[in-house]
Homo-oligomer: A and B are copies of this chain.
Amino acid sequence: MFHSKITVILRPSILDPQGKAVEHAIHSLGSASVHNVRMGKHIELDIDAATKQEAERVTEEACKKLFANPVMEDYLFTVEERT
């Protein structure tokens, strides 16, 4: 069995209003040193696959078809084997 950890985040050039709102909230809590907050998604999943290559292919396909909007978001993932 393989375990994938996927991170999906808005591209740097795309404005992130949710991140801006969180930034204001952090400032209200007293941490004025925080800036440039970006919010993204984290996804973990298990894959039954014979090889790591196959697990990576399934993960990549899920990212492209489902998790990431290719126009606005970047994704990266790691796949590790679990016994």
Contacts and interface: CB of A to CB of B under 8 A. Distances in A.
Contacts of A29: 61-62, 65-66
Count the copies. 2
Contact of A39 (B23, B43, B65): B43
Nearest to A59: B34
Give the interface size bracket for A toward B: 20 to 34
Contact of A34 (B31, B41, B45): B45
Interface string A25-64: 1100101011111111111111111000000001001100
Contacts of A25: 66
Given A22-B66, A25-B66, A45 B41 contact: no
Interface of A: 7-9, 19, 22-23, 25-26, 29, 31, 33-49, 58, 61-62, 65-66
